[in-house]
Amino acid sequence: MRGIKGKVAIVSGGAQSIGARVVRALHGAGARVTIADIAVEPGAALARELGDRALMQRTDLARDADIDACVAATAARFGGVDFVLNVACTYLDDGINSSRADWLTALDINLVGGVMLVKAARPHMIARGGGAVVNFGSISAKVAQTGRWLYPVSKAAILQLTRNQAMDLAPDNIRVNSVSPGWTWCRLMDELTEGDRAKTDRVAAPFHLLRRVGDPDEVAQAAVFLCSDDASFITGADLPVDGGYAAMGPERAEPAISKLTE
């Protein structure tokens, strides 16, 4: 993709899972990448593997001092900041039983931390002529889910935040978009099925037009696209990477009429 090589990206939550795939995809496209995460060991291992164009910086998104240090370390190592990708999140959620402390923690990590990271990086992005921000939403932002309140609400807020950021940062030549993944193969799915991807795809099939879960790399490539010059006229948008989940609604991916004859 055009416009990635030589640029500098910060990926929050970049040490593991989808975040690590985002880091790899950016690095593979020629970017220099800071892995901003509290998971130091896997993040450091990834940085060592990728070499001089990767930096691991321990970053707790609930601490402004950590965020400022991350941006400063990135600018010192790589000369500036072009892209911010807010992947990090917490899945803390007990629905109606969640405490006030749980709510504040979830919103602090999933929403406010990303805001503060963009705020800290913005002067560096302006100094380099602009850049791009990619926030991570979710299909959970758009539908009701039994027993889940904190995570879906925080992700819905991210979609509105993306629109507001896009409006206010456009004069700085900073584009802001979001990616909303559907069910994506991850460590939890791997553990629950003992590595049985086929079983996972069968469970996911009725909920996705493409009748499977997504691959982390498919989500990562969408995020890199939104940073690239190939997306130069896209801002304030949400890109569903969900195999058709959001398009379906209650119809699901199975012909309802056929069930009348079963």
Based on the residue annotation, tell me whether 245 is a catalytic residue of this protein.
no
User: In DSSP terms, which residues pair with 133 in a beta bridge?
Assistant: 84, 176
The whole-angstrom separation of Cα 153 and Cα 111 is 10
Dig out the tokens for 206 from the structure.
Answer: 């009725």
Q: Please check whether residue 27 is in contact with residue 33, taking contact to mean a CB–CB distance below 8 angstroms.
A: yes
Q: Spot the catalytic one: 83, 136, 151, 185.
A: 151
The whole-angstrom separation of Cα 9 and Cα 49 is 17
Pairing label, strands 32-37, 174-181? unpaired
Dig out the tokens for 211 from the structure.
Answer: 């009748």
Sort residue 254 into left (φ over 0), alpha (ψ -120 to 50) or beta. beta
Dig out the tokens for 229 from the structure.
Answer: 């010059």
217 Cβ contact partners less than 8 Å away, ≥ 6 residues apart = 21, 25
Catalytic residue ranges: 151
